[in-house]
Amino acid sequence: MVIILKENADSHQLENLISWLREQNLKVHMSEGVKQTIMGLIGDTTAVDIDMLKALDIVEDIKRIQEPFKNANRKFHPLDTVVNVGEAFIGSDELVLIAGPCSVESREQICSVAKSVKASGAKLLRGGAFKPRTSPYAFQGLRENGLELLLEAKKETGLPIVSEIMDLSQLRLFENVDIIQVGARNMQNYELLKELGRTNKPVLLKRGLSSTLSELVLSAEYIMTGGNEQVILCERGIRTFETSARNTLDLSAVPILRGMTHLPVLVDPSHSTGISKLVLPMSLAATAAGANGLIIEVHNDPPHALCDGQQSLTPEMFDDVARRVFAIKPFSYSFHS
């Protein structure tokens, strides 16, 4: 349920109302917008007397929320959430590019990719240290050492870093990682999500391979109910009957999620297509559809990459993608217009 307050509501009456709602075992979430202040109520509101609330001087309107997600709901929080990391404002009007290799492979590799993607306009560096590979015989990542190399690349370039956590036990190693990624395979690892909700780190939450958008948002809700509101959603392609690309990029997810929630929405054109030649057209399309940013795999030597070389761009290809997406950004769809 949300309570929309009248402009300039009396602060004493407001405090009384909040205390009364808390006595009813409801959690009160305040959201101050430009025009309106909204109180989101979390908990069992079935016994709340709506007519009594509506009659209060300070109340403009009351709405029941049908959706099962509250904290992530746009109705609770009409303004966009903006996650600030380094120089990036993810969720604002800027298009944020996150780029880097699928996996960190060596100091030379990660530092050289970091420098080139930064020169092309990327604001964050990605790199997997713990890799969720389909085959147990495939390269599993450099683990702790991979995170250390990422930190060295951060020191050299100043780019904040994004890396994937696969298990709760790894959390202590992520202290200096700027954004913790939860991969598609872990989107419904609820214990992990709850623990991340108790941290104050931004979380990049990728859509599960066969998850609906509502399931994705409910996973974000798990993080947010713990108190961590810095959640970034990512559409990375889903499983369909189509086999000509690695996955099917569901671009309608972008405007749908922007309407359902106030959280930033990124698109991953690399994992959604699995083919480097498709990354440019899908990056342009995602930008046009209103994505807040793109996360793109870039490798200094894609044919010899230890993971996902077929979908990785060379630094030159990334530079071209970056120039083109920045060029079309002013013409892209905006949720607010």
Beta carbon of residue 105, minimum distance to Mn ion (angstroms, whole number): 12
Beta carbon of residue 268, minimum distance to ligand PEP (angstroms, whole number): 6
Interface region with Mn ion, contact rule CB under 5 A, candidates 42-50, 188-196, 302-310, 320-328 = 302-310
The edge-to-edge listing of strands for the beta sheet with 27-32 is 27-32, 37-42, 2-5, 59-63
| Contact status, residue 62 vs residue 50, Cβ threshold 8 Å | yes
Q: Which helix (H) or strand (E) holds 42?
A: strand 37-42
Q: Is 127 in the site for ligand PEP (CB under 6 A)?
A: no
The interface mask with Mn ion, positions 62-101, x = CB under 5 A, is: ----------------------------------------
Interface region with ligand PEP, contact rule CB under 6 A, candidates 32-40, 80-88, 171-179, 181-189 = 181-189
- Which of 30/168 has CB closer to ligand PEP? 168
Q: Which of 45, 55, 57 is nearest to 21 (CA)?
A: 45
Which 221-280 residues touch Mn ion, going by CB under 5 A?
Answer: none
- Which of 74/126 has CB closer to Mn ion? 126
Spatial separation of the C-alpha atoms in residues 308 and 230, rounded to whole Å: 28
Q: Is 102 in the site for Mn ion (CB under 5 A)?
A: yes
Closest residue to ligand PEP, based on beta-carbon distance:
183
Q: Is 132 in the site for ligand PEP (CB under 6 A)?
A: yes
Which ranges of 36-166 does DSSP label H, i.e. alpha helix?
A: 50-54, 107-119, 144-157
CA 323 to chain centre: 23
Of residues 184, 233, 279, 284, which one binds ligand PEP by CB under 6 A? 184
DSSP 11-40: HHHHHHHHHHHHHTT-EEEEEE-SS-EEEE
Interface region with Mn ion, contact rule CB under 5 A, candidates 12-20, 144-152, 166-174, 307-315 = 307-315
Q: Locate 277 and state its tokens.
A: 């030649």
DSSP code, position 96: E
| Contact status, residue 241 vs residue 270, Cβ threshold 8 Å | no
- 236 touches which of Mn ion, ligand PEP, none (CB within 5 to 8 A by kind)? ligand PEP
Beta carbon of residue 308, minimum distance to ligand PEP (angstroms, whole number): 7
Q: What residues make contact with ligand PEP under the rule CB under 6 A? A: 102, 128, 132, 164, 183-185, 206, 236, 268, 271
